Amino acid sequence: MIDGKYSLSNLMGIGGSSRVYSCVDINDNEEYAVKVIRKDKGYTDQVCTRLVEMEANTMVHLGEHPNLVNFVDANKSHCVYKKMNSMNNPNKKEYVTVAEEINYLVLEKCENGALSKYVKTTGLFDELTTRFLFAQLCGAVNFMHSQEYVHLDIKLDNILLDKYFNIKLADLGIALCSRGTTHLLAHKRGTAKYMAPEVANCDSKRPYNVYPADIYSLGVCLHLMLFGTYPIADSDSEMSTDEENDGSPKLKQDSSPRLDSSSCLIAAYLSEDCLDLLERMLSQDPSMRPTIEEIENHPWMSQEFPEQIGEIVYSELNERCNHIKSLVADSSPSFSIDLD
């Protein structure tokens, strides 16, 4: 129980700095997700408070959008919960009541999980479904960019699905307001496999523009949805680790993505407009990438959808969701794409 108001239940997911639980507001019986800063990371109380404040402030300033996870509440409070005690007898399940101070955010619950789960477990999407989902994602990013905010960690793990399988962009913990700035950063933010090359290679002498960096990450998401793989750099520009930059991948900025043999087969079934947009978004030259407005106005994105597209996509994702649940239920071996 948190604040005598939110009753926690099952663990929904674990991130780099937090755990997310399902919870119920006991006053109105509404279900939410509560994001709790992880104690096992050794963060100081000040850091824990700052992490919650930064994300809460960003979400409040942005306001609501149909494709952004909605903010509900945030606080620092005492949490009372039961914890397994194996000190006396490791073979016997005993629980003790624990009370500790936590920092938390209460957010809209997206019960159908992350998009990464669907791609990894049930495979890539066809072009029509991809375009429909990607249009929703771009709507959320445009909403942020239009208010001079950048996400800086766009990835399939942070793209959630609500109960109707609508896209909900989440995890604004490292989002940045660029208002009144040069839009340049000199330190890395985000997840390695989604980083633009200029982000991976940045330093004080080579800062990067944050907006094209978001676009590149969007392009990686689009590539994963269409091909089930990350973009591949040319062989003379392979990623390598560098001890001086915390082991993050470094990629020469003059390299360009290419398709492996299996991806080439898939590409043969994709439209020219689709491939054109993907290539532009993944350009190694940030100045050549389209803005989010240009993406939404691209010929591939501006095509009309079939009248029943909502029902079509819902049916497909619901079928995939049920398949994933069945795999979890019987724990049988299954098809899987490596997104790790």
- Number of Cα atoms under 13 Å in the Cβ half of residue 59: 23
pLDDT of amino acid 237 = 31
Q: Is 235's pLDDT higher than 50?
A: no
**Range(s) of the chain covered by CATH 3.30.200.20:** 6-107
Domain 115-321: homologous superfamily in CATH: Transferase(Phosphotransferase) domain 1 (1.10.510.10)
Q: Which of 153, 157, 171, 214 is catalytic?
A: 153
Is 126 a residue of the active site?
A: no
**d(C-alpha 295, C-alpha 215), whole Å:** 9
Mean pLDDT of 273-282: 97
pLDDT of residue 253: 40
Q: What is the mean pLDDT of residues 21-33?
A: 93
pTM of the model: 0.84
CB 35 within 8 A of CB 104: yes
Contact 25, 6 (CB under 8 A): yes
- Following DSSP, what letter does each residue of 114-141 receive, concatenated? BHHHHHHHH----HHHHHHHHHHHHHHH
Which class would CATH give 6-107? Answer: alpha beta
pLDDT bin (cut points 50, 70, 90) of residue 240 is very low
Is the distance from CB of 61 to CB of 177 less than 8 angstroms? Answer: yes
Decide if pLDDT at 245 tops 80.
no
What's the whole-number average pLDDT of the chain?
A: 85
Higher pLDDT pick, 47 / 193? 193
pLDDT of residue 101: 74
Domain with CATH 1.10.510.10 in the chain: 115-321
